[in-house]
């Protein structure tokens, strides 16, 4: 066996071990979701004696999970769509136009990466209250869009700058307007970057607990992290329900990653190999 095959085998072994380390907590969470509290404490690493969906049914019915799920999907999806749309427009203008203020505006967006959004929680709270947006989904959406723009603009600007200008010239010669050049020619070419932006924003927004806790009071408006915390406080001794809720809250993230994984990997590895 030559040296190249040995190196490749070692890489596969390391990656396989790492995959097992990552997958084990997820599998343990899934298996535990089917157990009763008694089984969890007496045999935490064993398979459940009886596989049933009682814990999942209890979470769905008692925790208002459909309401929390609907709120999380609406807030997160709306925020991500706005972030991707606005960031792609801003990145296209910064990357493709040589304007006197382009570099200054680009630095302004990058400055947002250095300032944690949570440092401005008090001014944000007062702002939303003065705008009468407190205890509404709009307060969350506006906050999420503002927090996601700097990194998204940074990623998309880099991708737009790698596209050859000849594509623009050819499209304009064919009679495309400026928006058609952006929408029909440039935007399809940065799909891996858009998938990266969507996943990088969707995961933290879906799991966010801090801003819903600050802005939302009405139980009918709460998202999954905040709503399920109230449920867990009520049933804190029933760990089967806790793990069932965790599994149900993780399913949308896993589905989204499976759908966008190929584009996401392309976006992460773009530019690593020079073609």
Assigned domain for 120 exists: yes
Assigned domain for 81 exists: yes
What SS3 class is residue 77? helix
User: For the domain that residue 96 is a member of, what is the CATH number?
Assistant: 1.10.3720.10
Assigned domain for 85 exists: yes
Range of the domain at 120: 63-269
* Total number of domains constituting the chain: 1
Assigned domain for 23 exists: no
Assigned domain for 224 exists: yes
pLDDT for 99-121, tens place per residue? 788 888 888 888 888 888 888 88
pLDDT for 33-75, tens place per residue? 898 888 888 888 888 888 888 888 888 887 788 899 999 999 9
Window from 96-110, 142-156, 189-203, 234-248 with minimum mean pLDDT: 234-248
d(CA 85, CA 87): 6
Give mean pLDDT, residues 72-87. 94
Assigned domain for 156 exists: yes
Question: What's the whole-model pTM score?
Answer: 0.84
Assigned domain for 181 exists: yes
pLDDT at residue 275 tops 50:
no
d(CA 231, CA 240): 13
pLDDT at residue 206 tops 90:
yes
d(CA 116, CA 146): 11
């Amino acid at each position: 066996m030559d040296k190249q095959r040995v190196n490749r085998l070692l890489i596969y072994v390391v990656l396989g071990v790492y995959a097992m380390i990552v997958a084990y907590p997820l599998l343990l969470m899934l298996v535990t979701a089917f157990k009763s509290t008694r089984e969890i404490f007496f045999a935490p690493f064993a398979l459940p004696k009886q596989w049933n969906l009682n814990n999942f049914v209890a979470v769905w019915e008692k925790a208002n999970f459909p309401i929390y799920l609907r709120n999380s999907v609406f807030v997160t999806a709306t925020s991500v769509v706005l972030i991707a749309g606005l960031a792609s427009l801003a990145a296209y203008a910064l990357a493709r136009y040589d304007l006197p203020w382009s570099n200054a505006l680009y630095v302004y967006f990058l400055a947002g990466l250095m300032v944690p959004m949570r440092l401005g929680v008090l001014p944000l709270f007062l702002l939303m209250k003065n705008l009468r947006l407190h205890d509404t989904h709009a307060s969350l959406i506006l906050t999420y869009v503002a927090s996601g723009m700097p990194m998204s603009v940074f990623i998309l600007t880099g991708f737009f700058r790698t596209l050859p200008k000849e594509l623009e010239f050819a499209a304009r010669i064919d009679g495309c307007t400026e928006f058609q050049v952006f929408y029909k020619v440039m935007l399809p070419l940065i799909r891996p970057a858009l998938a990266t932006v969507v996943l990088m924003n969707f995961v933290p927004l879906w799991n966010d607990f801090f801003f819903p806790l600050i802005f939302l009071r009405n139980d009918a408006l709460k998202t999954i992290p905040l709503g399920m915390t109230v449920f867990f406080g009520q049933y804190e001794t029933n760990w089967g329900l806790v793990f069932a809720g965790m599994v149900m809250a993780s399913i949308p993230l896993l589905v989204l990653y499976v759908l966008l994984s190929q584009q996401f990997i392309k976006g992460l590895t773009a530019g690593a190999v020079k073609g």
